[in-house]
């Protein structure tokens, strides 16, 4: 027997119309590439989104067309999120930190029709344009007064597209499984792989966020997305914030500790979301100034594992740390580690112990652990296994890439994350390493993540990485690579001594290498792939 309720498709455009009706004065504050601060509301934004949608139709954008963006976090980028998907096209966000080779591959693989770019990226596009599809049109995201001189032919001005268009629109109806967004992985192995989100998956992800992280996602809250709009939907904030009534404070291109502190202090940001390297910079600024930004009380940290030292530093200052985990292929949120009330009043040490884990799953995401043979493992908090996921916000395959799709799904249709993890009886996930980052020495496994967390507790260490290097006797041995803080000179002996007090002697790295900077991926993580390549050659 079927139920007798109406069935209305879940659509992304309904989120911004809901915000305009219910939270009309919710703010979007943006640091613009033009150099000033722009302020608007959800009601005003809904009108501009409608005008942009009409303008896109006028340019011939149709169902399923891929519309690319190459832009920082700002109100125009936000408008594209809604206008593009709202008319049935696909918003394809491109990470500008990718290599030229990867960017060329992505634009051609997606067959983008339009590319919207911030002023910052015009010089790069002048070099890349000959390698893009011949019929691709480029739009500069500014007004007529700030249009740059450029060798790009036929460029359009963003504000000209909106000029004269109606501020209202009847959003078209279409099935909720219509494609809405496209985001490519950074392609650390092989070509980048595309994840194609639907309206249904995006709306469900936003609903799940609001239920799971209510201390930040609520009416009147002010949230700073340092996580970029060009990377995996800015962790869902462009959708979750309007749905919950939270205001968005967009930082533009300046993501250093000082710039973030000034913006957060001025705008009274409560919650800020981003990767660990960003928060290390902000914590340094907080210590130099001797205070928190006004109103600041919460961070969501993900993208790579947060060290114990980082979590403890913010918790000691009275800032709640929500350690989260997810993937591009998961929209991206999979788990979050806000503690339940029974754990919220634990002593600091025990609270940080818990918050080092990636937390409990969000609604709609299922987790399982399996051994090398695919046999299910217990959720006992002690047995590590390969982590698999499934759910309404998890990809069912890579866009136009069957060769990349086949190896990452098991016979039951679960997606292999590539992580090694444990899950305890209370449902807390702890990612112990990436499967490719585990070190097998003399037949025994060593977790690079465990060693890195210990080393990061040293006050003189800014960042570090542990990688495997070939060894004649033991097959592989761990090598520790350290980036020291600018005002410190940590010594090899004291760092190794720190490890010897905490882990078995055979797990301690054979050597410590000090570097001025660690190589980073396009998504702000330490690139262990580059380190392995470099030091494997040195070892050989």
pLDDT in tens, 341-387: 999 889 999 999 999 999 999 999 999 999 999 999 999 999 999 99
Between CA 437 and CA 445, with CA 442 as vertex, the angle to 5 degrees is 35
- Among 21, 165, 195, which Cα is nearest to 83's? 165
Does residue 473 lie within any of the structural domains? yes
Q: Convert 366-395 to b/e letters by CB count within 10 Å (16 or more is b).
A: ebbbbeeeeeebebeeeebbbbbbbbebbb
Does residue 502 lie within any of the structural domains? yes
What is the pLDDT at residue 473?
A: 81
Catalytic residue check, 475: no
- Active-site residue identified among 33, 69, 142, 185: 185
- Active-site residue identified among 383, 440, 444, 506: 440
CA distance linking residue 196 with residue 182, whole number of Å: 5
CA distance linking residue 201 with residue 12, whole number of Å: 10
Catalytic residue check, 72: no
CB hemisphere CA count around 101 (13 angstroms): 5
* CB of 419 closer than 8 Å to CB of 449: no
- Active-site residue identified among 294, 316, 445, 494: 445
The DSSP result for 261-281, as a single string, is HHHHHHHT--EEEE-HHHHHH
Does residue 529 lie within any of the structural domains? yes
What is the pLDDT at residue 189?
A: 58
Does residue 487 lie within any of the structural domains? yes
Residue 321 — φ and ψ, nearest 5°? -105, 120
Q: Convert 343-355 to b/e letters by CB count within 10 Å (16 or more is b).
A: eeeeeeeebbebb
Does residue 308 lie within any of the structural domains? no
Helices 75-86 and 42-58, interaxial angle, to 10°?
60
CA distance linking residue 360 with residue 339, whole number of Å: 9
Does residue 456 lie within any of the structural domains? yes
CATH of the domain at 521: 3.30.300.30
Q: Which two tokens stand for residue 246?
A: 């939270």
If DSSP states are collapsed to H, E and C, what string results for 16-36?
Answer: HHHHHHHCCCCEEEEECCCCC
The pTM assigned to this predicted structure is 0.89
- Among 322, 314, 318, 267, which Cα is nearest to 294's? 267
Phi-psi region of 60 (alpha: psi -120 to 50; beta: other; left: phi over 0): left
Catalytic residue check, 445: yes
What is the pLDDT at residue 434?
A: 82
What is the pLDDT at residue 18?
A: 98
- Active-site residue identified among 159, 176, 329, 452: 329
What is the pLDDT at residue 538?
A: 63
**pLDDT < 50: residue spans in the chain:** none
CA distance linking residue 430 with residue 450, whole number of Å: 11
Q: Which two tokens stand for residue 199?
A: 């309206």
What is the pLDDT at residue 504?
A: 83
Does residue 525 lie within any of the structural domains? yes
In 32-146, which ranges are E strands? 37-41, 66-70, 90-93, 114-117, 137-140
CA–chain centroid gap for 225, Å, is: 10
CA distance linking residue 106 with residue 194, whole number of Å: 8
What is the pLDDT at residue 503?
A: 87
CA distance linking residue 538 with residue 348, whole number of Å: 42
Q: Which two tokens stand for residue 315?
A: 């918790």
CA distance linking residue 403 with residue 416, whole number of Å: 15
Parent domain of 497: 439-539
- Among 278, 206, 292, which Cα is nearest to 242's? 206
Q: What's the structural domain count of the chain?
A: 1
Q: Beta-carbon neighbour count of residue 536 at 10 Å?
A: 14
Catalytic residue check, 11: no
* CB of 169 closer than 8 Å to CB of 54: yes
DSSP 8-state assignment for residue 281: H
Does residue 287 lie within any of the structural domains? no
Q: Beta-carbon neighbour count of residue 173 at 10 Å?
A: 10
What is the pLDDT at residue 188?
A: 53
């Amino acid at each position: 027997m079927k139920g007798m309720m109406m069935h209305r498709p879940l659509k992304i455009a309904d989120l911004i119309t809901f915000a305009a009706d219910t939270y009309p004065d919710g703010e979007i504050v943006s640091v613009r590439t033009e150099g000033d601060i722009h302020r608007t509301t959800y009601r005003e934004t809904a009108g501009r989104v409608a005008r942009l949608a009409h303008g896109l139709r006028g340019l011939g954008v149709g169902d399923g067309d891929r519309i690319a963006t190459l832009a920082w976090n700002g109100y125009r980028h936000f408008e594209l999120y809604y206008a593009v998907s709202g008319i049935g096209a696909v918003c394809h966000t491109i990470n500008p930190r990718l290599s030229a080779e990867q960017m060329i591959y992505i634009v051609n693989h997606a067959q983008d029709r339009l590319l919207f770019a911030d002023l910052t990226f015009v010089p790069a596009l002048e070099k890349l344009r000959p390698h893009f599809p011949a019929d691709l049109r480029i739009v500069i995201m500014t007004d007529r007064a700030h249009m740059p001189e450029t060798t790009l032919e036929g460029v359009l001005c963003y504000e000209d597209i909106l000029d004269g268009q109606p501020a209202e629109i009847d959003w078209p109806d279409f099935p909720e499984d219509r494609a809405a967004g496209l985001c490519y992985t950074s392609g650390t192995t092989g070509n980048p792989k595309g994840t194609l989100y639907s309206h249904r998956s995006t709306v469900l992800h936003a609903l799940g966020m609001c239920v799971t992280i209510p201390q930040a996602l609520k009416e009147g809250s002010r949230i700073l997305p340092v996580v970029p709009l060009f990377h995996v939907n800015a962790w869902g904030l462009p959708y979750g914030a309007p749905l919950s009534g939270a205001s968005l404070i967009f930082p533009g291109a300046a993501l250093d500790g000082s710039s973030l502190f000034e913006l957060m202090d001025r705008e009274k940001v409560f919650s800020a979301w981003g990767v660990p390297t960003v928060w290390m910079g902000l914590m340094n600024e907080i210590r130099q100034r001797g205070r928190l930004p006004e109103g600041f009380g919460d961070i969501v940290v993900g993208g790579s594992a947060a060290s114990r030292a980082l979590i403890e530093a913010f918790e000691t200052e009275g800032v709640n740390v929500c350690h989260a985990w997810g993937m591009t292929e998961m929209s991206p949120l999979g788990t979050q580690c806000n503690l339940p009330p029974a754990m919220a009043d634990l002593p600091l040490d025990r609270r940080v112990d818990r918050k080092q884990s990636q937390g409990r799953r969000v609604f709609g995401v299922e987790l399982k652990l399996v051994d090398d043979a695919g046999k299910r493992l217990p959720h006992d908090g002690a047995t590590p296994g390969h982590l698999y996921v499934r759910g309404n916000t998890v990809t069912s395959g890579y866009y136009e890439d069957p060769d990349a799709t086949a190896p990452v799904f098991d016979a039951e249709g679960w997606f292999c994350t590539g992580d090694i993890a444990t899950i305890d009886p209370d449902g807390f996930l702890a990612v112990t390493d990436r499967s490719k980052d585990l070190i097998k020495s003399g037949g025994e496994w060593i977790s690079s993540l465990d060693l890195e967390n210990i080393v990061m507790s040293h006050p003189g260490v800014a960042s570090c990485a542990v990688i495997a290097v070939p060894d004649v006797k033991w097959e592989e041995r761990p090598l520790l690579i350290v980036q020291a803080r600018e005002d410190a000179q940590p010594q090899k002996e004291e760092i190794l001594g720190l490890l010897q007090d905490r882990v078995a002697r055979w797990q301690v790295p054979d050597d410590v290498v000090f570097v001025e900077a660690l190589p980073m991926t396009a998504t702000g993580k330490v690139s262990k792939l580059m380190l392995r390549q470099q030091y494997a050659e040195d070892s050989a």
